[in-house]
Amino acid sequence: MRVAVLGAGAIGAYVGASLCRAGVEVHLVARGPHLAAMRQHGVQVRSPRGDFQARPYATDKPEEIGPVDHVFLGLKANAYAAAGPLVEPLLGPHTTVIGAQNGIPWWYFYGLPGPYQGRRIESVDPGGAVTKVLPLHRAIGCVVYPATVIESPGVVRHLEGTRFSIGEPDRTMSTRCSEFSAAMIAGGLKCPVEQDLRNDIWIKLMGNIAFNPISALTRATMAGICRHKGAKELVATMMEETLEVARLVGAQPDVSIERRLAGAEKTGEHKTSTLQDLERGRPMELDVLLNATVEIADMVGADVPTLRAISAVADLLNQSVAAAS
């Protein structure tokens, strides 16, 4: 099996190193000092589950790799539309694209029976730009649960979690999912193949849609938000509205708001990825979280006043960041 990890940052390099440990032919696509360090020393993973090192091939030129069996996308979702020149050299006739993103994926209504089958979500796939680069028939969904950070170039600190849930948009239990899952498991990760991954998507989104923008707007950590009575109530309201949208599109996320809040509080003084992007002056990944959910709410007739309000002020902040960069 040949796997290319496009965007080998903290999560991508962790997955690549794990697959390499399982004997998979892995190619990492990265840039800058992180790439230079991985070329020289490989990927060093520091984890409470045990440290390890792997030496996958690393490059900034996908054309050096050629077609692979699976492309694992470690890019932010807001970078997908512009990723065509990086993705194209990696695609063969049967190559899959595994989008390890937060929020609502570009393929969400592809292969989903019902009144919204085939609908495109403009916030996620503006003008079809993402679908053009990442054809729907290649898509395998992926919900990422682990927390990782780049401690220094070439060094990934694994904080917690090993689960990467995957699944086909059309709910089939495919061979291509099974083979990728087996490789991930052989590398020491959890990788269940879910018949309906959309339920996992909404469970993960419940936390991201609330904590990520609120952390950016307030500069607070996960635990800090949970300690503040008003902020915690705001998070719960946003989660309630999100669950209503999920139910109206036929999803059945099996988790309570109390459980999601408790899980978030346990993460401690953790900065969300959105807050980290803000502090680095990078555009925040909000379209696939808030804006997409509000767009779906409008589609199904759900009343989401809190999501709509937070979306507006967070989008304004994002515009300020973009103007300053």
Tokens describing residue 96:
């899959």
Say whether 229 is catalytic: no
Tokens describing residue 182:
């087996």
CA distances from 187 to 6, 201, 270, 273, 276 (A): 19, 24, 27, 25, 28
Among residues 9, 4, 8, the alpha carbon closest in space to that of 277 is found at: 9
Q: Which of 61, 76, 132, 204 is catalytic?
A: 204
CA separation for the pair 316, 286 (Å, rounded): 11
CA separation for the pair 196, 200 (Å, rounded): 8
CA separation for the pair 148, 146 (Å, rounded): 6
CA separation for the pair 91, 242 (Å, rounded): 35
Which residues belong to the active site? Answer: 204
